[in-house]
Chain A
Amino acid sequence: MRVATVGTLVGLPVALLAAYALARWRFPGKIIVDGFLHLPLVLPPVVTGYFLLLTFGRQGFLGKEIYDLFGITFAFRWTGAALACGVMGFPLMLRAIRLSFEAIDRRLEKAAGTLGANPYWTFFLVTLPLALPGILVGVILCFAKALGEFGATITFVSNIPGETQTIPSAIYTFTQVPGGESQALRLSLISIAIAMVALIVSEVLNRRIQKRIAVFE
């Protein structure tokens, strides 16, 4: 839970910025950036985890810098699990947020400009509130994905109870020991419940956005 929450919350501002950039700006190499950000969605999770290990591990070029600067280690710690979950859930969040930015009528932003709102105010008073349902959908999807993340997490930070163990890796552990079936089943049911709630909430929010888009016509 903590792992998924931190992973999602840390990823959110990055996703907001990236989504805004992809929805609004034109820049060279946009397709490549877009593709790169969506890679975790299509790559085998183990590959993503392995590359995280290479870059953010103790000896990895980013991992070393961050340890020197902030004293945060990722490898085999819960922070690493959060990072892995965040990276894996990121594309889902990015997609939802980007779509909601693209759905906003840009003339509303121009209207805000003629009323005296500078671009920052316009973003916070007009763009962001209108994109809010999409942002929430993105956060929920990312959170659900992060809760279920297995491959990248286990590759990057292993499966240490109380530190880097997530629900799926705990289920996996229980199925590997004799007599663990009931525990595994219990966790699986919890997992299904969380996923269902997340999907229902995101669907309800999605319908609200549809209604809002209809208003623009």
Chain B
Amino acid sequence: MKGLKPLLSVRTLQKRPDFTLDVAFESDSALTALFGPSGSGKSTILNMIAGILRPDSGRIVVAGNVLTDTDARIFIPPHKRRVGFVFQDAQLFPHLTVQQNIKFGQWFNRGEKHALPLDAIVDVLGIGALLKRRPATLSGGERHRVALARALLSSPHILLMDEPLAALDDARRSEIMGLIERVRDEFSVPIVYVTHRVDEVRRLASRVVRINAGHVVAVGDTTEVLSP
């Protein structure tokens, strides 16, 4: 993966009657924040990187792999993209135990040579005691840790996080932010992180793409972009 620069390159255009999304940015950062107010199009961009949404036109490249290129008629379906997606409300499978949930992605990518170690992930995220339980019995913070583990175990080339802390109280937010820092530093999976909270950007991100009303307002290092 190293040496393929840039790590992430996104250029997309999407026109809707009431909203136009027109963004282009690149990043090599370990954690890139897509930062902007609600409804600015951040989540849409994330869904386009994951292949859940298809842009009208554009090109998305992750770690040297062209995932979307409307000019060349390339559109890799989500399940072949090797992206880990952490949803705002976790989206754990309610009919499976925690263990089955986190092994779901691992099983589909079992040919992966550089698979991330299950034990280390379970250990770092502190979910060892939860493995036999069902998602319905977990607290909000626990669900997020399991969702993070599940995404990591699919050995993604990039980890996409869509406001993962929005539904949590301040104590839990701080705790999960600490875990995201560890994941960022220990598992060397680049992360794209969508948020509207400036404290999360400041603590986690090294590069910020600031978005407003469907357009990129600023791209740069966290200190530059956040200074007035």
Show the binding face of A for B, using Cβ within 8 Å.
105, 107-108, 110-119, 121-122, 125-126, 129-130, 212, 215-216
Q: With A and B bound together, what is the CA distance between A105 and B92 in angstroms? A: 11
Instruction: Say if the beta carbon of B126 comes within 8 Å of chain A.
Output: no
Closest chain-A Cβ to B190's Cβ sits at a distance in Å of 16
Closest chain-B Cβ to A52's Cβ sits at a distance in Å of 38
Show the binding face of B for A, using Cβ within 8 Å.
50-52, 77-85, 87, 91, 93-95, 104-105, 108-109, 135-136, 150-151, 154, 160
Partner of B94, one of A110, A112, A116, A216: A216
Closest chain-B Cβ to A121's Cβ sits at a distance in Å of 7
Across the interface, do B104 and A112 meet the contact criterion of CB distance under 8 Å?
yes
Across the interface, do B79 and A111 meet the contact criterion of CB distance under 8 Å?
no
Across the interface, do B95 and A114 meet the contact criterion of CB distance under 8 Å?
no
Contacts A107-B87, A114-B85; A129 near B108 (Cβ below 8 A): no
Across the interface, do A110 and B154 meet the contact criterion of CB distance under 8 Å?
no
Across the interface, do B94 and A117 meet the contact criterion of CB distance under 8 Å?
no
Across the interface, do A116 and B79 meet the contact criterion of CB distance under 8 Å?
yes
Closest chain-A Cβ to B50's Cβ sits at a distance in Å of 5
Closest chain-A Cβ to B90's Cβ sits at a distance in Å of 9
Residue of A nearest to B155 (CB): A116
Q: Which residues of B contact A118 (CB under 8 A)?
A: 77, 79
Across the interface, do A116 and B108 meet the contact criterion of CB distance under 8 Å?
yes
Contacts A113-B52, A114-B50, A215-B135; A130 near B108 (Cβ below 8 A): no
